[in-house]
């Protein structure tokens, strides 16, 4: 059974329809990249999965359960983890206090899992969220979400605005996490090369609809298709 099954999903914000007939599935442990130009609906799709956009038609099932009546908090408790572009850390709390807020009732000692994944956060554990660099804030947002032990992690532009070395550190952590824990990941990322190296399958969106699906290793070798839909050349 698919971990996530999306069927004929139409969604947007109020009267504005952004997504049109989206259908996809994610298997347990699978890594899926959502790529496309800015404004094609990638972020809206993640928000629809989390109950943060208005769904006018279609269904979202997680582990066989229909989520139509479930709000964002209930979806998070069910096993969906969401790291938005805005990061949404608590700037007035310390790093450790931010992490404790993500434990969802687990023992405080479990915060060590976040420090093992991102040692930089251990060095900053007493710093306030507002004192962190952009990369450190992104690590904190990801780590806090992971402490809730999601079975599906939704990442929205995690590399946006970050230095190349921080991007490499984050992607290495995502890869290690996926391999070691088996968490499934849906990644929205404008850095297409990094997304295709990380994921196994890719879905290309245009005008709120899926226009192409392909294994990442083969899509990365098709510069003409990437140029047409994403505006970048191939990765080879």
Q: What is the domain partition of the chain in residue ranges? A: 29-52+71-229
* CB of 52 closer than 8 Å to CB of 18: no
* CB of 65 closer than 8 Å to CB of 78: yes
Which residues sit opposite 188 in a β-bridge?
34, 156
The residues, any chain, with a CB within 8 Å of residue 9's CB and separated by 6 or more, are 19, 21, 22, 23, 45, 48, 55, 57, 58, 59, 60
> CA-to-CA distance for 1 and 81, rounded, in angstroms?
20
User: Which is nearest to 232 in space by CA: 195, 185, 187?
Assistant: 195
Q: Select 29-52+71-229's CATH number: 3.40.50.300, 1.10.260.40, 3.40.50.720, 3.30.750.200.
A: 3.40.50.300
Residue 170: count of CB within 10 angstroms of its CB: 20
Q: What does the pLDDT profile of the chain (236 residues) look like in tens digits?
A: 899 999 999 999 999 999 999 999 999 999 999 999 999 999 999 999 999 999 999 999 999 999 999 999 999 999 999 999 988 899 999 999 999 999 988 999 999 999 999 999 999 999 999 999 999 999 999 999 999 999 999 999 999 999 999 999 999 999 999 999 999 999 999 999 999 999 999 999 999 999 999 999 999 999 999 999 888 654 44
Three-state SS annotation for the chain: CCCEEEEEEEEEECCEEEEEEEEEEECCCCEEEEECCCCCCHHHHHHHHCCCCEEEEEEEEECCEECCCCCHHHHHHHCEEEECCCCCCCCCCEHHHHHHHCCCCCCHHHHHHHHHHCHHHHHCCCCEHHHCCHHHHHHHHHHHHHCCCCCEEEEECCCCCCCHHHHHHHHHHHHHHHHHHCCEEEEECCCHHHHHHHCCEEEEEECCEEEEEEEHHHHCCCHHHHHHHCCCCCCC
pLDDT score at 233: 56
> CA-to-CA distance for 121 and 146, rounded, in angstroms?
14
Name residue, tokens 């298709």. 225
pTM of the model: 0.93
| φ and ψ of 99, to 5 deg | -70, -40
Which residues sit opposite 4 in a β-bridge?
26, 62
Please give the structure tokens belonging to residue 62.
């997680």
pLDDT score at 157: 95
């Amino acid at each position: 059974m698919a971990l996530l099954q999306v069927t004929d999903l139409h969604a947007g914000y109020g009267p504005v329809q952004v997504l049109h007939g989206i259908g996809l599935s994610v298997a347990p442990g699978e890594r899926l990249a959502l790529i496309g130009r800015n404004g094609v609906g990638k972020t809206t799709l993640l928000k629809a999965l989390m109950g943060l956009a208005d769904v006018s038609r279609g269904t979202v099932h997680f582990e066989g359960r229909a989520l139509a009546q479930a709000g964002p908090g209930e979806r998070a408790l069910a096993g969906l983890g969401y790291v938005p572009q805005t990061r949404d850390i608590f700037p007035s709390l310390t790093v450790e206090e931010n992490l404790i807020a993500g434990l969802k009732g687990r023992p405080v000692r479990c915060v060590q899992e976040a420090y093992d994944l991102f040692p930089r956060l251990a060095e900053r554990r007493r710093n306030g969220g507002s004192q962190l660099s952009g990369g450190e804030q992104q690590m904190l947002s990801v780590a806090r979400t992971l402490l809730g032990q999601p079975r599906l992690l939704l990442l929205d532009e995690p590399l946006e605005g970050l230095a190349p070395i921080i991007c490499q550190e984050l992607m290495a952590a995502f890869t290690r996490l996926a391999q070691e824990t088996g968490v499934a990941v849906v990644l929205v990322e404008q850095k297409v090369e990094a997304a295709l190296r990380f994921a196994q399958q890719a879905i290309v969106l245009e005008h709120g609809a899926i226009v192409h699906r392909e294994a990442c290793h083969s899509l990365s070798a098709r510069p003409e298709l990437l140029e047409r839909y994403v505006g970048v050349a191939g990765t080879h």
